[in-house]
Amino acid sequence: MQNRTSDKRLSKATVVIAGGGTGGHLYPGIAIAEEIKKQLHDVEIIFMGAEKGIEARILPSENYYVKLLKTDGFVGVSLRKKTVALFKFIMAFFKAYAFLRGLRPNVVIGTGGYASFIPVFAAMLLGIPTVIQEQNSVPGQANRILAKFAKKVCITYENSLSYFPKNKTILTGNPVREKILKADKTEGKKMFSLKEGRFTVFIFGGSMGASSLNKIVVDSLEQLTHLKDRLQFLHQTGEKDFEYVKAAYLRYGMSGTVAPFIYKMPEAYASCDMIISRAGATTLAEITAIGIPSVLVPYPYAASAHQEVNASRLAVSGAAMMIKEGELTGKVLAEYIQRLFNDDSLRSKLSRDCMTFGKPDAAKKVANISIMLLKNKKQSYREGFPVPLPK
């Protein structure tokens, strides 16, 4: 998927979805793409992302073309790395600009992350309609800037409205892939070699894993050995901690499956009885869409503490259990697991209340907005450089 002709005609609509770096920014883009393809039979969807992002390995397996840019994030790195990132930013911008100018897409949708800013900004300069999709309660600085020039801004939480122009901002929810909604529990257990009839705990710390969360989980296992014949675990560790975590499960005689990365998240969700995870916006969108009882451990260093804000919305309403990482120990985590294992009514309540926050139609709403702009713009290009038609 390295070469692609840029000579196209307007018989087919073209949509570019820009974003990634992590699954939290990539998977909403895939959900939007799926919905657009359902509504438009003659459409070409192209992704733009970062070479180092998760999109480089996920999108080819999903049969999407992806244009990868050499770019890095600026947040939380040294001055030297910021300087290198700035140079890469400039080079990536010119490549993105040239790519979009040749492609002439009808609309560009930005789903966040450092991989999103450059293509969306370039599209704005080229006069291409843009849509911003913001997942978090507290939006990042990049989307706040881009929103001033975007045609539409789609938000997940109502309290995000104060950060964006009200005349172009729409509450849609965070898009969730259709596979998440339709995955089968029995098939999920088969896929991950999980036993029927055992209480299944699914643990993940985001697409890159979470070392501190992994350590707490390992520390909790000794407290759970009396349940080892009734419990099983599905644990996404990240590459760094895989061997260490796997060895701990074996040491304590625990059943289940440990993997550095889980590609089949819909089946993983379907197979479990409870979740222990970070509180990224996309994770919360997915678990609320299908109602999974969860123990949320917000990442303490997230920008503007947005993970804690996200998780608190559920916790105060009784839709999830939340505990800050600094207050969590192996013993405390074991107590949470045992409580949910023993209390069917609590799990049912969490599941029911969790689903009241779900927005399973979010992808359709964002797709509808994007298609509206696409149809308005489809006839506004001349051969070559894209320009708006005269009024």
What one-character-per-residue DSSP string does 40-86 give? Answer: -SSEEEEEEEETTSTHHHHHHHTT-EEEEE-----TT--HHHHHHHH
Mean pLDDT score, 323-349: 97
262 is in an annotated binding site: yes
pTM for this one? Answer: 0.88
Based on the fold, state whether residues 191 and 326 are members of the same structural domain. yes
Whether 23 has a binding-site annotation, put simply, is yes
What is the tens place of the pLDDT at every residue in 68-79? 999 876 666 677
Spatial neighbors of 338 by CB under 8 A, at least 6 apart, are 224, 227
Residues 285 and 306 in one domain: yes
* Residue 22 marked ligand-binding: yes
Each residue's pLDDT tens digit, 7-18: 444 458 999 999
Please write the tens of the pLDDT for every residue from 247-298: 999 999 999 999 999 999 999 999 999 999 999 999 999 999 999 999 999 9
According to the annotation, is 225 in a ligand binding site? Answer: no
CB of 147 closer than 8 Å to CB of 36: no
3-state secondary structure of 289: helix
Q: Tell me whether residue 110 is annotated as binding.
A: no
100 and 156 inside one domain: yes
Domain carrying residue 209: 179-355
Same domain? 97 vs 127: yes
Residue 91 has what pLDDT?
A: 93
209 is in an annotated binding site: no
* Same-domain check for residues 212 and 142: no
The answer to the question of residue 388 being in a domain is no
State whether 165 and 288 are in the same domain.
no
Looking at the fold, whether 223 and 344 belong to one and the same domain comes out as yes
The whole-angstrom separation of Cα 201 and Cα 199 is 7
Q: Does 8 fall in a domain?
A: no
